[in-house]
Amino acid sequence: MTDKLKIASGHIELKSVSKFYGEGENYKEVIKDCSLEITPGVLSVMIGPSGCGKSTLIRLIAGFEKPNSGTITIDGRPVEGPGKDRLVIFQESALFPWMTTEDNILYGPRAIGQDNSKNRDLANFLIDKVGLNQFKKKFPNQLSGGMQRRCELARALINQPEVMVLDEPFRGLDEMTKELMWEYYANLYEENKATNFFVTTDIDEAIFLADRLIIMTNIPTRVAAVIDVDIPRPRRLSNIFELDQANAIKMKALKILHEEAMKSFRSGSKAAADFIDAYSKRVSS
């Protein structure tokens, strides 16, 4: 695929990024002094508690919003707004309901004035990769949820972005479909090796996919820990959690996430803090 999909890579760097909303009693600090690097050719997966500020961070990287302080650069260029170099896939389906699978996938190149014939080979290649050969001429409402997501992956990849950002793209799918999606997505990633930044709250998904796991603190969020996941690819779902290495990473990550969740629970109310103190004493005695 490397000769079919030539994807230049983007190196994303965040330095001391902070973001807040509102003022006075509506003031809410969402990201605080967050520094991180997302390197090309490495599948970086960010995991953090729900509501910690992950999507906010993505909106900043995408250039939809600006940080209040700190800098975000891609290959050294400051992010000033949205750009063709970055492609963001959100959980919500964005397929055009009046277009077939094939036309949806060809949409991006067509929108910038390219002839379909020029991209048909690449489209067919991607359609095959995401297992939609039999569904080329079908419309989104004739596809299952998982097929729609696969169609979206192909639709994004045909644009050959430097950076692909995926914000919980498989949330809401049933477990079996989700697992299948991981395999399709990992397979596409193994072939294109663009800069991929994948955001999730699902620890199994994170470990199955990641080369590098970025664990976030609770809100206001910043990086709590970075763990390299040196498990060889291609990985197999059927056996990855039989590996001690995968389980050790899972335990370590869960421990950090649990501590973060406890901090937020504790700061929720005095009753919650008292409960945790009493509980911790009971557990340790």
Tell me the closest approach of the beta carbon of residue 52 to Mg ion, in angstroms: 9
Q: Which of the residues 3 through 62 are near ligand ADP (CB under 6 A)?
A: 21-22, 28, 30, 48, 50-56
Select from Mg ion, ligand ADP, none the partner in contact with residue 275, using the beta carbon and a kind-dependent cut-off of 5 to 8 Å.
none
CA dihedral sign, ordered 182, 188, 191, 192: negative
How far is Cα 137 from Cα 134, in angstroms, rounded to an integer?
8
Mask: binding to ligand ADP, 79-118, rule CB under 6 A, as x and -? ----------------------------------------
Q: Which is nearer to ligand ADP, 44 or 56 (CB)?
A: 56
Q: In this structure, what DSSP letter does residue 217 have?
A: P
CA dihedral sign, ordered 37, 1, 85, 98: negative
Strand partners, 28: 21
The footprint of Mg ion on this chain (CB under 5 A) covers a number of residues equal to 2
Angle at 139 between CA 143 and CA 125, to 5 degrees: 80
Tokens 């050719």 locate to: 41
Q: Which is nearer to ligand ADP, 102 or 167 (CB)?
A: 167
Select from Mg ion, ligand ADP, none the partner in contact with residue 30, using the beta carbon and a kind-dependent cut-off of 5 to 8 Å.
ligand ADP
Tell me the closest approach of the beta carbon of residue 129 to ligand ADP, in angstroms: 29
Q: What phi and psi values does residue 161 have, to the nearest 5 degrees? A: -70, 155
Q: Which residues, in sequence order, are CB contacts of 129 under 8 Å at separation 6+?
A: 1, 154, 184, 187, 188, 191
**What's the distance, Cα to Cα, between the start and end of the chain in Å?**
58
Tell me the closest approach of the beta carbon of residue 217 to ligand ADP, in angstroms: 11
Q: Which of the residues 39 through 58 are near Mg ion (CB under 5 A)?
A: 54-55
Select from Mg ion, ligand ADP, none the partner in contact with residue 84, using the beta carbon and a kind-dependent cut-off of 5 to 8 Å.
none
Q: Which is nearer to ligand ADP, 154 or 199 (CB)?
A: 199
Q: Are residues 203 and 250 in contact, defined by beta-carbon separation less than 8 angstroms? A: yes
Q: Which is nearer to ligand ADP, 90 or 139 (CB)?
A: 90
Please tell me whether residue 174 adopts helix, strand or coil conformation: coil
Task: Confirm or reject binding of residue 196 to ligand ADP (CB under 6 A).
Answer: no
Which token pair is 212?
Answer: 């590098």
> Could you list the residues that contact Mg ion (CB under 5 A)?
54-55
> Could you list the residues that contact ligand ADP (CB under 6 A)?
21-22, 28, 30, 48, 50-56, 219
